[in-house]
Each structure stands twice: as structure tokens, then as C-alpha cells.
Amino acid sequence: MENPHAERQNVLLQRIIKNVDKCTENILELNHCLDEIVRANDRVVTAADLVTKYRKNVQYNLEAMRSSEP
């Protein structure tokens, strides 16, 4: 005669394994989506860097023009 406690534990372990597998699949999908977002944001970061540098150059030139005025 098999141990009913061991059978119950086996059933619970199988359910846990199934749920962990589902969680793992969902986490992998989430990581994939996040990678796509990060790649899409690379262009935004580049554009923001260019705008920031442009603004600094404009500010520098404006200050240089102001200081050279009589």
C-alpha cells in the first residue's frame, strides 16, 4: 500500500513544477518585450543627446555674442 501523504506531496510538487514552468515562460516573454523597448529607446536616447549638445552649443554661442557686444 502506497503512502497517501507521499501521493499528495507528489501531486502538489507536480502542480508547483507546472506553475513554475508557466512563470518562467512569462518571464522570458517579459524579458523579450523589455529588450524590444530598450532597442526602440536607443534612438530616443541618441536624439536626446543630440538635442542636449545642440542646446549647450546654442547657449555657449549666445553667451559669447552677449559678452562681445559693446
The confidence band for 68, taking pLDDT boundaries of 50, 70 and 90, is: confident
Q: Spell out the domain ranges in the chain.
A: 37-70
For residue 3, report the phi and psi dihedrals to the nearest 5 degrees: -75, 120
d(C-alpha 47, C-alpha 31), whole Å? 25
Residue 32, C-alpha cell as written in the block: 523579450
Provide the 3-class DSSP secondary structure of residue 70.
coil
Reported as a single tens digit per residue, the pLDDT across 8-43 is 999 999 999 999 999 999 999 999 999 999 999 999
